[in-house]
């Protein structure tokens, strides 16, 4: 197979790493397109270095633009690259504008698409990610679901696995539950993250602390909401470490929001530092999709700064608490519940698989390739 992999934003580099390592192990040929959606050293290059991801074959260097302009330019440039490269499958990750652009470019050229993290839904159509993931799923040939719930959602939308007849597939759709590829990354880089322990300790790291991340448009782009979040965080007793996303940094500056002295702000961190802090945190407060999952995988309680989550399994048994109640944003209340969780005794089903999603994905695509010859 001639694989083409598309990534452009921080969480996609993390999802890409296990797949690239598995492809390399099998001697598969791949071509990597970086869209350039994220471009700061600590939002992009750092992950390639830490996770041993080979340099992209091409970087489209699209950068930050409005949604339409960013996605449109990516589509145009990706089409040109795909026409030159003659690849037999395009692999897309998650739900960013880079994902949607890859889906449109590949489907117009009739190149089969494999979507990793298919079937996730927040049912909040205002989120750009919800639009991206629905459109991408509906354009994909291979839908790799992290969980059973995601597969069921695809069935509800009329996307079902095609049956094989006399060695050939009858339908264009191939749906499988593989486990979550972020679990692959977490399990395989955990030991390295622990080794980092001795180096460059962060302020508050050796005492009980909370880890905070915040970058969703719905939280950052509404100044009133952003102020409300930080005002509620003022009332929290524990110190907070905040690796600050550039989007949020920009908004805090624009709105002149001054943070409490108990919030220790750092630049965005590398994956290994991040995993180390996640593991040590008393609780993680976040609006990130990936970090909600990592909190669950590491058995660390989490408070999600959103009204809903697509990672609904994390809510069962109380590992994850939504910060919104009928009374609106109530971070303190949610945190109290999260901190009461008995980590040793609370049920923890392995919803996100065993850390071997990448191998399953490659197997499934290859078996299709052989059957359709």
Kindly tell me which of 64 and 172 has the beta carbon lying closer to ligand UD1. 64
Q: Which two tokens stand for residue 177?
A: 């539950």
In whole angstroms, the minimum distance from the beta carbon of 96 to ligand UD1 comes to 3
Size of the site for ligand UDP (CB under 6 A): 16
Buried b (16+ CB within 10 A) or exposed e, 117-130: bbbbbbeeeebbbb
How far apart CA 343 and CA 236 sit, in angstroms, is: 21
Compute the Cα dihedral for 59, 250, 101, 9 and give only its sign.
Answer: positive
How far apart CA 294 and CA 329 sit, in angstroms, is: 23
Q: Are 139 and 145 in contact (CB under 8 A)?
A: no
Stretch that binds ligand UD1, among 36-44, 111-119, 138-146, 199-207 (CB under 6 A): 36-44
Size of the site for ligand UD1 (CB under 6 A): 18
Which of ligand UDP, ligand UD1, none does residue 250 bind to, with CB < 5 to 8 Å depending on kind? ligand UD1
Catalytic pick from 34, 115, 174, 215?
A: 215
Q: Is 11 in the site for ligand UDP (CB under 6 A)?
A: yes
Q: How many CB atoms lie within 10 A of CB 61?
A: 12
Among residue numbers 286 through 315, which ones bind ligand UD1 (CB under 6 A)? none
Q: How many CB atoms lie within 10 A of CB 91?
A: 28
In whole angstroms, the minimum distance from the beta carbon of 241 to ligand UD1 comes to 18
Q: Which two tokens stand for residue 223?
A: 């100044």
Among residue numbers 167 through 226, which ones bind ligand UD1 (CB under 6 A)? 215
Binding mask 214-233 for ligand UDP (x = CB under 6 A): -x------------------
In whole angstroms, the minimum distance from the beta carbon of 269 to ligand UD1 comes to 12
Tell me how many helices (H) and strands (E) the chain has: 14, 17
How far apart CA 106 and CA 90 sit, in angstroms, is: 7
How far apart CA 370 and CA 88 sit, in angstroms, is: 13
Which of ligand UDP, ligand UD1, none does residue 246 bind to, with CB < 5 to 8 Å depending on kind? ligand UD1
356 in catalytic set: no
How far apart CA 214 and CA 24 sit, in angstroms, is: 34
Which of ligand UD1, ligand UDP, none does residue 38 bind to, with CB < 5 to 8 Å depending on kind? ligand UD1
Q: Is 247 in the site for ligand UD1 (CB under 6 A)?
A: yes
Q: Which two tokens stand for residue 86?
A: 């003659």
Among 37, 286, 314, 330, binds ligand UD1 (CB under 6 A): 37
DSSP structural state of residue 88: S
Q: Among all chains, which residue has been given the structure tokens 């908004």?
A: 251
Among residue numbers 64 through 83, which ones bind ligand UD1 (CB under 6 A)? 64
Among 129, 137, 205, 273, binds ligand UD1 (CB under 6 A): 129
**Secondary structure of residue 132 in the 3-state scheme:** helix
238 CB burial (10 A radius; 0-12, 13-18, 19+): middle
Among 4, 5, 7, 9, binds ligand UD1 (CB under 6 A): 9
Q: Is 313 in the site for ligand UDP (CB under 6 A)?
A: no
Among 250, 254, 299, 343, binds ligand UD1 (CB under 6 A): 250
Q: Is 16 in the site for ligand UD1 (CB under 6 A)?
A: no
Q: Is 8 in the site for ligand UDP (CB under 6 A)?
A: no
Which residue in 328, 310, 329 sits closest to 320, CA to CA? Answer: 310
Q: Are 118 and 176 in contact (CB under 8 A)?
A: no
- Catalytic residue numbers read 215
Interacting residues toward ligand UDP by CB under 6 A: 10-11, 14, 213, 215, 243, 268-271, 274, 288-291, 294
The residues that touch ligand UD1, with contacts defined as CB under 6 A, are 9-11, 37-40, 43, 64, 95-97, 128-129, 215, 246-247, 250
């Amino acid at each position: 197979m001639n694989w083409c992999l598309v990534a452009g934003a921080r969480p996609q580099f993390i999802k890409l790493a296990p797949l690239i390592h598995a492809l390399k192990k099998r001697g598969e040929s791949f071509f990597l397109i970086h869209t350039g959606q994220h471009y700061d050293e600590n939002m992009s290059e750092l992950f390639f270095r830490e996770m041993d991801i080979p340099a992209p074959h091409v970087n489209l260097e699209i950068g930050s633009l409005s949604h339409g302009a960013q996605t449109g330019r990516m589509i145009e440039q990706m089409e040109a690259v795909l026409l030159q490269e003659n690849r037999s499958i395009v692999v897309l990750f998650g739900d960013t504008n880079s994902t949607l652009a890859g889906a449109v470019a590949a489907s117009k050229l009739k190149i089969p698409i494999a979507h990793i993290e298919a079937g996730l839904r927040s049912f909040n159509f205002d989120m750009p990610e919800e639009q991206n993931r629905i459109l991408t799923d509906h354009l994909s040939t291979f839908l790799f679901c992290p969980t059973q719930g995601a597969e069921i959602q695809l069935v509800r939308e009329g996307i079902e696995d095609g049956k094989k007849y006399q060695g050939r597939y009858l339908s264009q759709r191939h749906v499988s539950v593989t486990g979550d590829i972020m679990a692959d990354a977490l399990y395989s880089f955990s030991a390295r993250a622990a080794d980092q322990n001795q180096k460059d300790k962060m302020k508050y790291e050796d005492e009980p602390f909370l880890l905070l991340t915040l970058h969703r448009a719905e939280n950052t782009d509404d100044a009133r909401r952003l102020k409300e979040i930080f005002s509620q965080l003022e009332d929290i007793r524990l110190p907070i470490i905040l690796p600050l996303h550039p989007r949020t940094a920009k908004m805090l500056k624009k709105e002149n929001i001054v943070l409490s002295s108990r919030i220790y702000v750092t630049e965005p961190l590398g994956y290994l530092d991040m995993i180390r802090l996640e593991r040590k945190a008393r609780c993680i407060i976040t609006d990130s999709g990936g970090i909600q999952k990592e909190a669950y995988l590491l058995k660390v309680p989490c408070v999600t700064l959103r009204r809903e989550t697509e990672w609904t399994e994390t809510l069962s048994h109380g590992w994850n608490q939504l910060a919104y109640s009928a009374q609106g944003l109530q971070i303190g209340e949610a945190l109290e519940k999260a901190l009461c969780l008995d980590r040793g005794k609370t049920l923890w089903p392995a919803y996100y698989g065993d850390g071997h999603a990448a191998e399953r994905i490659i197997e499934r695509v290859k078996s299709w390739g052989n059957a359709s010859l």
